[in-house]
Amino acid sequence: MKTATRWLMAGALAAFALGAAAAVAAQREIRVEGSQVAQTPRAWAYEIRDGQRVPRANRVTAADGSWREELRQGTCTTVKEKTANGDYSETRKCD
């Protein structure tokens, strides 16, 4: 009976240790060199800043249905524009 209890306690302790190690590893993946946060993956439509979701692109829509959207990725900026008559243009500028 004591042997079974010891094995259960050892298993519980091992599971706790593995869970704690996984949590630490996950936290280390988020942090990069000091307190800088790793970049949000490119496929996401938002960035995470100070723990909050912030839209990655700034879209301005006019009353006539035209819009202009600026999306920055690192040092590059992509500008997407659509006019009221449906013409679409996309330009990319890197500094």
Q: Any idea where the domains of the chain sit in the sequence?
A: 1-38, 41-95
- Cα separation, 35 vs 21, in Å, equals 20
Q: What's the pLDDT at 92?
A: 94
Q: How far is CA 55 from the centre of its chain?
A: 11
Residue type, 25: A
Q: Quote the pTM value.
A: 0.45
- pLDDT bracket for residue 13 (50, 70, 90): confident
Percent of the chain exceeding pLDDT 90 equals 28
